[in-house]
């Protein structure tokens, strides 16, 4: 008899886990209370990239004269058309997931899933009907929602979540974005390109203050923001937000996380703006699904703990994706890999999840791609490293595209030449980082990349130029 595997949550972790388990011979059921694809497809990765594509194209039209193109009239933006395109693409992607599940004989159930007791789950439909679903193994992939700050809660009109930003009926004239992390910075560039006056407020001393993002990338990004007339306030937080008619008075003050020595110089100020978006994290969706019925406890913040096999402390119960929290990479592609690991282990295999070579993709303008450790982290660990960087302006393809901002940086062990990290900011950096991810995953040397022929003229030559420089054979870099 086939093992009965139940997956709760049909995001990029859940549906991939379901497909993999089914391919290994399991009888698989997946429960989803909203739409297949999870946050990534419906409220995150995909819709935000649809917005970014339109924003980039809009800027290209405005700059067409630089490329010898004389437009007939000034471009204007149609928000309704963008929203319709977004819905069409999401619908197509949802249908693709459902087709994939059907092809693999995965039973899909709409409704709220929960755990009643060991081996038995409950499914509550929209009309309130409940039925029991037996399982041998359970994979939890319930995900997260935007973190709602009690001091200024979301209202969907003036104080917005990242979900709300993807449902805008028109571009605001001005917006304050609280949080200069990945989501905040991505939306900042999108909204600025579409005409909004943008201000970012970040509590740390730099934008994108993530361990995975090299400081050089933050510096270049901040420089580009200044060029685009975007404002950002670092070492500061929002202390109050008061709605006054059609505007919000956003009061800022010194951050409680000092690391730059600027705090004593920061004075409170009020920024008048049409909208405020809060993009400072996610909250777990672990409550209300019956974890207590099997004795599965979360940590103090509500995240589920697992080992590298994606196993919880309760036998036959696995967890994957964002519900694991920020101690692991909260990324769609990571969730998918965690899903495969969980599914294989649920089917009796012995596979572990590794996080040392997870590529990051940040869709700002310019884009950022990173993998492995940064220069500062390597030095913090006491690793003797050598770092080499080359600017995109050295590439013929970048010049032809008119996108010369940015650089690639390779962090390598000084003695062995082993590549420990790759950090790229520039055109199509999120695509180019794949080569760096392979290098870190396979433990390649800088000389391995230098000895690889890269096609010309392409943006991929940035890795060739950087590695050639790293082995003392610089050509254009």
What are the catalytic residues? 456
3-state secondary structure of 328: coil
Angstrom CA distances, 56 to 74, 78, 147, 162, 427, stand at 15, 14, 28, 19, 12
Asked if residues 294 and 138 have their Cβ atoms less than 8 Å apart, the reply is no
| Residue 368 dihedral angles phi and psi, to the nearest 5° | -130, 130
The β-bridge partners of 411 are 387, 421
The β-bridge partners of 232 are 200
Asked if residues 320 and 335 have their Cβ atoms less than 8 Å apart, the reply is yes
Half-sphere exposure of 249 (CA within 13 A, CB side): 6
Identify the H or E element spanning 130: strand 130-134
Burial letters 336-366, b for 16+ CB under 10 A, else e: bbbbbbbbbbbbeeeeebeeebbbbbbbbbb
197 vs 55: CA distance, rounded Å: 14
Burial letters 423-456, b for 16+ CB under 10 A, else e: bbbbbbbbebbebbbbbbbeebbbbbbbeeebee
């Amino acid at each position: 008899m086939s093992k009965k595997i139940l997956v709760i949550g049909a995001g990029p972790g859940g549906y991939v886990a379901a497909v993999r388990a089914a391919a290994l011979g399991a009888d698989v059921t997946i429960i989803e209370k909203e739409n297949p694809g999870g946050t990534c497809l419906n409220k995150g990765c995909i819709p935000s990239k649809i917005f970014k594509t339109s924003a980039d194209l809009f800027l290209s039209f405005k700059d067409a004269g630089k490329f010898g193109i004389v437009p007939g009239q000034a471009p204007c933006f149609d928000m309704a058309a963008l929203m319709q395109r977004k819905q069409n693409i999401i619908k197509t992607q949802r249908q693709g997931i459902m087709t994939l599940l059907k092809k693999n004989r995965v039973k899909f159930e709409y409704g709220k899933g929960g755990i009643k007791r060991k081996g038995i789950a409950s499914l509550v439909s929209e009309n309130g009907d409940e039925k029991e679903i037996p399982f041998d193994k359970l994979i939890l992939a319930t995900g997260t929602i935007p973190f709602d700050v009690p001091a200024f809660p979301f209202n969907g009109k003036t104080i917005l979540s990242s979900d709300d930003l993807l449902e805008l009926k028109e571009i605001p004239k001005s917006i304050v974005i609280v949080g200069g992390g990945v989501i905040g910075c991505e939306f900042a560039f999108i909204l600025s390109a579409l005409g909004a006056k943008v201000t970012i407020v970040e509590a740390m001393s730099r934008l994108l203050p993530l361990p995975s993002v090299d400081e050089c990338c933050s510096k270049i990004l901040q420089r580009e923001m200044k060029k685009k007339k975007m404002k950002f306030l670092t070492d500061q937080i929002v202390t109050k937000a008061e709605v006054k008619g059609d505007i919000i008075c956003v009061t800022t003050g010194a951050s409680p996380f000092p690391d730059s020595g600027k705090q004593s110089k920061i004075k409170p100020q009020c920024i008048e703006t049409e909208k405020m978006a809060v993009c400072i994290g996610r909250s777990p969706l672990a409550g209300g699904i019956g974890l207590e019925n099997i004795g599965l406890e979360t940590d103090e913040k509500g995240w589920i703990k697992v080992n590298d096999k994606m196993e919880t402390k309760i036998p036959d119960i696995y967890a994957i994706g964002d519900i694991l929290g920020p101690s692991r990479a909260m990324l769609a592609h990571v969730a998918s890999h965690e899903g495969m690991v969980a599914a294989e282990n649920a089917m009796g295999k012995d596979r572990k999840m590794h996080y040392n070579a997870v590529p990051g993709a940040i869709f700002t303008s310019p884009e950022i791609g990173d993998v492995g450790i940064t220069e500062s982290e390597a030095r913090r660990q006491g690793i003797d490293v050598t770092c080499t960087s080359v600017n995109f302006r050295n590439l013929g393809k970048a010049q032809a595209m008119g996108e010369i901002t940015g650089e690639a940086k390779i962090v390598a062990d000084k003695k062995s030449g082993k590549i420990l990290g790759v950090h790229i900011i520039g055109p199509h950096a999120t695509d180019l980082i794949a080569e760096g991810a392979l290098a870190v995953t396979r433990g390649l040397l800088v000389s391995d990349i230098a000895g690889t022929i890269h096609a010309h003229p392409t943006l991929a030559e940035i890795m060739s130029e950087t590695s050639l420089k790293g082995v003392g054979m610089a050509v254009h870099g």
